[in-house]
Amino acid sequence: MDPETPVIQINDLHKAYGALEVLKGVSLNAPKGNVISLIGSSGSGKSTLLRCCNLLEDSQQGDILFKGEPVTWKGSHHGRRPSDPKQVLRIRTNLSMVFQQFNLWSHMTILQNVMEAPLTVLGRDRAEVEQAARGYLDKVGIGDKCDVYPAQLSGGQQQRAAIARGLCMEPEALLFDEPTSALDPELEQEVVRVIKDLATEGRTMLIVTHDMKLAADVSDHVIFLHQGLIEEQGPPDRLFGAPTSERLRGFLSATHAT
């Protein structure tokens, strides 16, 4: 792949739930190694945009490209669906999603949680996957929790396990949807630290967050969504330091970011 080709590229994406238009023509580029944060009020379409990226949601119009490869569609408008299940699987397994609520399997140990998808979805060798899984759990600071169940961990530890699970797929990019919102402030910092380490390593990440400090600290580019459209975007210093749109200024003062 040409190193200039973005990992994820979205052009003029439109998405509606029935009559409710949620994305009204959104475009974004996630170049390799970049961290892009999506901010905006509740209901502005941030989660929907993230879920469209890895094809968890259908969209009605616009293009989605993964490493320069356009998603192929059949049908149109509300009947539009990806036409190639193998392509969908390839894209989805290359974009690991980390959710607000961790979504770990409660009946599996932490190690089993991290190993599950590489074994069953990618069909990788068990011994290699186990070694990698232990390595990723060490990396996020819970290498000693391999054999316990999710209910025995704090929220911050569970979220770090979910990040290790995402990493163990060896994805091209990580997509985070409010990874720290369900956590108490001190546990939140454990997760923020892991995300900052991943940013420093040059991971490609798309992060939906209400944490303006996190967005300011880790992002190469910040996108402010308002009612399904990009109202303003730019490098974090500019966006947080000198917002031009009235709506962004209002949003930032409401979140105490300025």
What's the Cα-to-Cα distance from 115 to each of 39, 54, 123, rounded to whole Å? Answer: 32, 21, 11
No. of helices (H) and no. of strands (E), the chain: 9, 12
Chain CA centroid to CA 90, Å: 16
Does 219 help bind ligand ATP (rule: CB under 6 A)? Answer: no
Name residue 105's amino acid: W
Minimum gap (Å) between residue 122 Cβ and Mg ion: 28
Does 14 help bind ligand ATP (rule: CB under 6 A)? Answer: no
Q: Closest CB to Mg ion belongs to which residue? A: 47
Backbone angles phi, psi at 81, to 5 degrees: -140, 155
Does 47 help bind ligand ATP (rule: CB under 6 A)? Answer: yes
Helix axes 185-200, 155-168, angle to 10 degrees: 20
Helix segments in 141-207, DSSP class H: 155-168, 185-200
Binding segment toward ligand ATP, per CB under 6 A, in 44-52, 101-109, 127-135, 157-165? 44-52
Chain residues 176-195 in contact with ligand ATP, contact rule CB under 6 A: none
Binding segment toward Mg ion, per CB under 5 A, in 41-49, 114-122, 143-151, 198-206? 41-49
Which lies closer to Mg ion via its Cβ, residue 47 or residue 158? 47
**Rounded Cα gap, residues 54 and 154, in angstroms:** 28
Q: Is the separation of the CB atoms in 55 and 77 below 8 Å?
A: no
Which lies closer to ligand ATP via its Cβ, residue 16 or residue 119? 16
Member of 13, 35, 45, 52 binding ligand ATP (CB under 6 A): 45
Which lies closer to Mg ion via its Cβ, residue 47 or residue 157? 47
Binds 48: which of Mg ion, ligand ATP, none (CB < 5-8 Å by kind):
ligand ATP
Binding segment toward ligand ATP, per CB under 6 A, in 16-24, 76-84, 130-138, 157-165? 16-24
Q: Is the separation of the CB atoms in 173 and 7 below 8 Å?
A: yes
Q: Is the separation of the CB atoms in 53 and 96 below 8 Å?
A: no
Does 47 help bind Mg ion (rule: CB under 5 A)? Answer: yes
Does 48 help bind ligand ATP (rule: CB under 6 A)? Answer: yes
Which lies closer to ligand ATP via its Cβ, residue 34 or residue 47? 47
57, 14, 8, 61: which is closest to 35 by C-alpha? 8
Interface with ligand ATP by CB under 6 A: which residues?
17, 20, 22, 40, 42-48
| Contacts to Mg ion by CB under 5 A | 47
